[in-house]
Amino acid sequence: MSALKRGLFSVSYAGLWGQPALTLEQTIEKAAELGFEGLLFMGKRPHLGPLETDEKRLSQLRSCLQSFGVEAIGVAAYNDFLLTAADEIPIAEMQLSY
């Protein structure tokens, strides 16, 4: 059985509710500064949007995590691809775009 890790959710620094907006690199640094062992990534814009995140970006984030001694503990995807809607409503595309 694995031990639980204390993690910070990157949405805390996404600037969505009027708080400071930090880049993912700044959020990783902040997590280390605050003593968190891991970071849960917000899998949406402005942090880890699936349409903007490629292998190069993931490699950059891996390096940043390693340099601050923070572990990636997951990605919160927020998408529900089982939602139903009328055929003319592109619900999956809408979820991926936000």
Question: Is 41 exposed, middle or buried (CB count within 10 Å of its CB: 0-12, 13-18, 19+)?
Answer: buried
Q: What is the pLDDT of residue 1?
A: 58
| Domain extent at residue 83 | 7-97
CA 56, CA 98: separation in Å to the nearest integer? 21
pLDDT, averaged in runs of 10, over the chain (98 residues): 84 85 95 97 86 92 98 84 69 64
**pTM above threshold 0.85:** no
Number of domains in the chain: 1
Q: Do the domain assignments include residue 2?
A: no
Q: What is the pLDDT of residue 24?
A: 94
Q: What is the pLDDT of residue 91?
A: 67
CA 57, CA 39: separation in Å to the nearest integer? 16
Q: What is the pLDDT of residue 26?
A: 96
Q: Do the domain assignments include residue 44?
A: yes
Please measure the distance between the N-terminal and C-terminal CA atoms of the chain and give it in whole angstroms: 36
Edge-first strand order for the sheet with 38-42 is: 7-9, 38-42, 71-76
Q: Do the domain assignments include residue 36?
A: yes
